[in-house]
Structure formats: C-alpha cells, structure tokens
Structure 1
Amino acid sequence: MVQRFILLYPLSQIMLKPTVFIVDDDAAVRDALTLMIKQENIIVCAYDSAETFLNSYQLETLGCAIVDIRMSGMDGIELHQVLLERNILLPVIFLTGHGDIPLSVQAMKAGAVDFLTKPVIREKLVNSIKAAIHTSERLLAEKATHQDALLLLANLTDRERDVMLLAVQGHPNKHIARQLGISHRTVEIHKSKIMQKTGAINLLDLARIVHEGE
C-alpha cells in the first residue's frame, strides 16, 4: 500500500499544476512568450500550428491556451471553434495584431477569455494568464461536480426517477402516489431508496444533486 502511494503521488501533483499552451507559427514569438511564462514558474508547452496542438492535447488539463489569430493552416479563430465543438474546457487568450482586434472581440463573444496585442506587455500577459487559470479551475470543478451527480443518479430506476423529479418539485407523497398510480407507502419506499442511492440528506440536498446532474 505504501509503495502504491509513492508511485501515484507525483502524478497527482503534476495534474494539479497549470500549463500554458502557446500556439503560434512565429518561432520568435513562441520563444519570447515561453521565457516570460517560465519566469513565473508556470509550465509551458509551445506549438507551431493549431493542428500540432490538437494532436497532442489531452483533455482535462488545468491551464489556458495563448493562440495567435493569424496562422498558416488552421487559424486561431478556427482552432477556438474546434475546442468549443469538442467541449474542451480550456480558456483561450488570443494573440493579435492591432488590425485583428475586431476579430478578437468577436471571438470573446464566442467564449474566449481575453486578447493580447503584439508586442505583449509582460504585466498584461501575466495577469491575463492568472485570470484564465482561475477560469480553468472553475470550469473543471463544475464539470467534476456534474459528473459526480450523474454517477449518483445513474443507479436509480425509471420509477425512482419519476418519484424523485416530483419530490424535488415540492409535491407531497399523496400527490406523487396519485400522479404515478401507486400507493402512498410505495412512494415512501422509493424515496427512501432514492436518498440511500444518492446520499442526499434531505430533499433540498437531493434537488441540488438533480440540478448538478442536468
């Protein structure tokens, strides 16, 4: 048991460290950004194209991506759209030239968290990254909560789900029994099993689980 803990512990620490992904086809920009970010003791991975990044990215990584809008092949706007379509919860910061600002504003409306203009100011870069990492933490926590709720609800039977939905809407047992065509006692039995399977301590807690599982 001790040996297993020693093996797993470093892996869990790595997963908790945020990573900044730089996607830019300009080597000089990649090198400059990498140096500035590493000086903040943040892990950096740099890619020369959107395609290379997509081929290597692993889901559920804490961090953010700094993406150049103008790139050969798939551009930054297209990459951001692919991330959204794949439901990849990675906040995106766009790197733009002054003429690309209207495109950046459009992208932010679609879910990007910020945009930085070239040349990048160090203070602005660091503040933007920190804000994006906080957003990443929130998104991953919300997804984990959703998945936990789905697991709690997965073992319910169809009838138990029917009872649960009526119960969290505030309907009394007599109404639920009449609505479903079952006895009052059967409703009580179902509710007891629902609470046991979900671990809910009361109806309010059960309603929270249902909401988180939606």
Structure 2
Amino acid sequence: MKRNTHEQVAPTVYLLDDDHSIRESLSDLFLSVGIPARSFGSSKEFLEGADVAAPGCILLDVRLPGVSGLDFYRELNRIGSKLPVIFLTGYGDIPMGIQAMKDGAVDFLTKPFRDQDVLDAVTVALARDAAAREAVAATQDVRRLLESLTPREREVLTAVNKGLMNKQIAYQLGISEVTVKLHRGSVMRKMQVRTLADLLKKMHQITGT
C-alpha cells in the first residue's frame, strides 16, 4: 500500500464493494458532483491500489469476499489508516453497522440508500478527515517551534505550563526573576505567541493538558 506524503491533493472517496453495479452507481454519483472517487471489488485490490495517506474517506461494504468489512476496518486501523469510514450494509447487517459505529465509523448506510444520504455522509467524513489533518499539521508546527528553544527556555516553558509564577520558577531553577522574565520573553517570540493564553493553547495541542 502506498504511503506517500500529499499536499494540496483533492480528497478521494474510496468505494470498496464487491457489487459492480453499486460501485458504478456511486462512482457516477460522485462524478456528477465533482468528487474524485476510486472503486475496488475486494480488500486485496484496495490494499494494492489505495493510498491511505492521502485525504479522503472510505465507503466500505460490511460483507466482502474473504473477509468481513468490520474485520477489514480493524485491519486498516491496525496498519495506521486514519481515513474515516462509512459502512454500507444490507438490512440483515444492521447490528454490524451499529458495531462499526461503536468502533469509530462515521456512519452506516442501509442498502438501498438515497443518493443524498450518501453525499451527506461523505461530506461529514471528508470534513472530519480535513479537521484531523489540520490538527496534525498544527501539532507538527508546535513541535518545530519547540525545537528552536534552548534547554533553559524549555525548562522555563515547562514551569510556565504548570502554572508557576516567575518567582517560583526562579527559585526552582536557581536563577533570578529578571532572568526568568528574559527567558519567558524569548519563549514567547520563538513560539510565535503574544499572550500567555495563546502559549498555553499551543502547549495543549501536544500535551493534551
């Protein structure tokens, strides 16, 4: 499976269903609204031809040749795919669709489904994928800025992130309060923020606290 890094790539909807008529119908639907789509008849075809590193989402039938859609979904998660998944189910597969939602799928659509329901679900999935990629990019930017800090600036930043005052930081690090203020000013510049709130927000992106 390809895992190239992509920039400025239009999101693609991957259709994974062994029913050729469904793949053809959905492909025509996405073509009519200008959404790139690629279709696959089996999990093997998907693994050989899809690029899970690129923006997009997956429409996945719960019943595939040789493997259930749920098992394949878990396999995708295991190998690191972050693409949002929408399951396609028959009436008898609704319990599987519910389980898929519990496992993190965006939605499940019961066959036969309305075109608008498909488009609505895909819109949600693509928005979720875009938001997740933006969050990853923002975190990477923060880590890059952190790398520009000196060891002492990192110590000061860690203390600030814990809510310590300048006087407390000075005592903890064995330096003067004036020196702490100088380091804090340098940290603010290098982290490209103007307020303490913005600094703490950036730290939250990588620490979660």
CA distance in 2, matches of 1:12, 1:161: 31
- Tell me whether 53-62 or 88-97 shows the greater mean CA deviation: 53-62
Moved beyond 3 Å, runs of 4+: none
Cα distance in structure 2, aligned partners of 1:209 and 1:51: 41
Secondary structure at 2:63 match in 1: coil
Question: TM-score, normalised on structure 2?
Answer: 0.86
In structure 2, do the counterparts of structure 1 residues 158 and 58 end up closer, same or farther at CA, with 3 Å as the change threshold?
A: farther
**CA-to-aligned-CA distance 1:111-155 (integer Å, 9 cap, x gap):** 100011122221211211122122222122222112211211122
Residue 59 to residue 190, structure 1, CA distance change in 2 (3 Å): farther
1:154-165 alignment, distance < 5 Å: 154-165=147-158
Among candidates 77, 90, 96, match of residue 83 of structure 2: 90
- Partners of 1:127 and 1:109 in 2: CA distance: 20
1:212 maps onto 2:180 in alignment: no
The TM-score with structure 1 as length reference comes to: 0.84
Distance 1:86 1:56 in 2: 15
- The one-letter code sitting in structure 1 at the alignment partner of 2:189 is Q
Residue 196 of structure 1, CA deviation = 2.5
Say which SS state the counterpart of residue 115 (structure 1) adopts: strand
Unaligned runs of 5+ in 2: 1-5
2:190 maps to what in 1? 197
More helix as a share of residues = 1
CA RMSD of aligned residues (A): 2.1
Q: Name the residue aligned to 2:130.
A: 137
**Count of matched residue positions in the alignment of Structure 1 and Structure 2:** 202
Equivalents in 2 of 1:89, 1:128: separation in Å?
17
Letter in structure 1 aligned against 2:86 = I
Counterpart CA distance in 1 for 2:179 and 2:132 is 40
User: What does the per-residue CA deviation read over 1:39-80, in whole Å, with 9 as the maximum and x for residues that have no partner?
Assistant: 222111111222332333334433211001111234321222
Tell me the amino acid that sits aligned with residue 96 of structure 1.
T
Partner of 1:22: 15
In structure 2, the partner of 1:34 is 27
